[in-house]
Amino acid sequence: MQNIFNDESQNRLLSIYYTAGYPTLDSTVSIAEKLEKAGADFLEIGFPYSDPVADGPVIQHSSEVALKNGMTLKLLFEQLKELREKVSIPVFLMGYCNPVLQYGVENFCRDCQQAGINGVIIPDLPMYEYEDLYQNIFHQYQVSNIFLVTPQTSEERIRKIDRLSNSFIYLLSSNATTGKDLDVGNQTERYFQRLKDMKLKNPLVIGFGISDRFTFQKATNYAKGAIIGSAFVRLLEAENYEHAITDFVQGIKGKIAKSV
């Protein structure tokens, strides 16, 4: 697996988010493989949940379909057993705390390690709870926990997040749900610049509202990378989405796809 987050030669990293089990139950690993070949730098695979409060309608719909298809954490880890035979770029899981607690935090981290998952993003896992109860488990299984920062996060909390992190920090472009367009006004740019000027030890990756080449380039003026979710999940609604993945990624990054 590539260590892209500490590599100063690699910038404007593109991460793609999509939901496991969507559009079909068995499409998770094949989509990851296609995204790497198309030029994505790292991936976020969402595990579906029945009450995804931070997600906009596109990702909520994908979660509903994935759950109806039969996707569970147990099945996802079964599918991910073949991930590292096909995908070499970093892969993170993203989802909500309740399914992880039901699965068992240690079981979850162990299965992440066995599947070659680099880290997880659990937006509703409180920082104090992670620090007091779960940090040692995450470290034992070498799974990075990715924290989120919003425009309202205090500098003190950001500094603490930086101390607790060992991969990247997820910088939310706004307090809105996913799928809202990026506000590229002066206020947002001042927020991004403020975080950039803090000279944190962990790189910043911006998410929420990144949907096209313009917003990707704008975000990565201030951060190591940016994450596209809803715009890609929307693409998966098409019957021939496999053929559109390369054009989508190249349209964002302008990269030549890797040979299949």
Assign residue 214 a region (left: φ > 0; alpha: ψ between -120 and 50; beta: otherwise). Answer: alpha
Q: Which residues contact 158 (CB under 8 A, 6 or more apart)?
A: 149, 169, 195, 198, 200
Look at the block and give the residue holding tokens 């003026």: 221
Active site residue 44: yes
Say how far apart CA 54 and CA 223 lie, in whole Å.
22
Cα 217 to Cα 8, 13, 42, 79, 253, distances in angstroms: 18, 10, 17, 33, 9
DSSP secondary structure string, 186-234? HHHHHHHHHHHHT--SSPEEEESS--SHHHHHHHTTTSSEEEE-HHHHH
Determine the 3-state secondary structure of 77 from DSSP.
helix
Which residue in 55, 129, 237, 242 is the catalytic one?
A: 55
- CA torsion through residues 91, 95, 99, 100, sign: positive
Which residue in 44, 155, 189, 197 is the catalytic one?
A: 44
Active site residue 55: yes
Rounded (5°) CA angle 79-247-83? 15
Contact criterion met (CB below 8 Å) for 235 and 244 = yes
Look at the block and give the residue holding tokens 């559009």: 23
The residues annotated with a catalytic role in the active site are 44, 55
